[in-house]
């Protein structure tokens, strides 16, 4: 990581050995990492590394140095791919989608969004909607949330952070998808 910028070097030095091993293995592509070695702290560390790599990519001095630019892009893409393969974090999901939207890589956006219903709970999807100001990400997360089982949405109705978000998703299920279960829950909410 030497020569890739002081911030990149600083974040790299702060990574735990386990997280460094994940990235080095992914860069070499012949050392797949085990999911047991990946944890929430790895998620946070890789997110921070990706952030500083992307910041470094936007600097004029980096853009003028082809070797440095190529190396940083390679590490950043590897970092993003590992995060996409492992994350269950609303913050990291938002970071990955914003990054793909900025690059106008809509296939990547679609691929990232596939993980919502596979890996995220309804509560985490609500958290994405709550945290982002990006209308495209909110729309994608709402679309995903509406596909969750009605029973899992109903469990979040009393949560003050997510109540309005869940009610909106239940309305889509009730009226657009004609879900009787969602209609029943909405009726109960109106009565209470």
Per the listing, tokens 């460094």 go with 20
pLDDT at 33: 57
pLDDT at 112: 95
pLDDT at 38: 87
pLDDT at 34: 58
Between CA 106 and CA 102 the distance in angstroms is: 10
Cβ-in-10-Å burial (0-12, 13-18, 19+) of 34 comes to: exposed
Between CA 17 and CA 41 the distance in angstroms is: 12
pLDDT at 32: 57
Between CA 121 and CA 85 the distance in angstroms is: 16
pLDDT at 35: 63
Between CA 19 and CA 138 the distance in angstroms is: 30
pLDDT at 29: 76
pLDDT at 6: 92
To the nearest 10 degrees (0 to 180), the angle between helices 163-171 and 180-191 is: 130
Between CA 150 and CA 134 the distance in angstroms is: 26
Instruction: Give pLDDT tens digits along the chain (192 positions).
Output: 888 989 999 999 999 999 999 999 899 875 555 566 789 999 999 999 999 999 999 999 989 999 999 999 999 999 999 999 999 999 999 999 999 999 999 999 999 999 998 999 999 999 999 999 999 999 999 999 999 999 999 999 999 999 999 999 999 999 999 999 999 999 999 997
């Amino acid at each position: 990581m030497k020569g890739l910028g002081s911030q990149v070097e600083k974040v790299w030095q702060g990574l735990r050995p386990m997280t460094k091993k994940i990235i080095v293995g992914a860069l070499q592509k012949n050392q797949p990492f085990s999911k047991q070695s990946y944890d929430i702290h790895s998620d946070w560390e890789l997110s921070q590394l990706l952030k500083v790599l992307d910041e470094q990519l936007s600097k004029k001095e980096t853009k003028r140095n082809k070797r440095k630019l190529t190396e940083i892009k390679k590490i950043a893409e590897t970092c993003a791919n590992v995060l996409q393969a492992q994350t269950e974090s609303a913050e990291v999901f938002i970071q990955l989608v914003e990054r793909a939207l900025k690059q106008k890589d809509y296939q990547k956006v679609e691929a990232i969004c596939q993980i919502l219903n596979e890996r995220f709970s309804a509560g985490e999807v609500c958290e994405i909607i709550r945290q982002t100001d990006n209308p495209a990400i909110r729309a994608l997360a709402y679309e995903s949330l509406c596909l969750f089982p009605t029973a899992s949405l109903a469990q979040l109705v009393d949560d003050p952070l997510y109540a309005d978000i869940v009610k909106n998703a239940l309305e889509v299920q009730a009226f657009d998808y004609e879900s009787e279960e969602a209609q029943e829950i909405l009726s109960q909410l109106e009565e209470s």
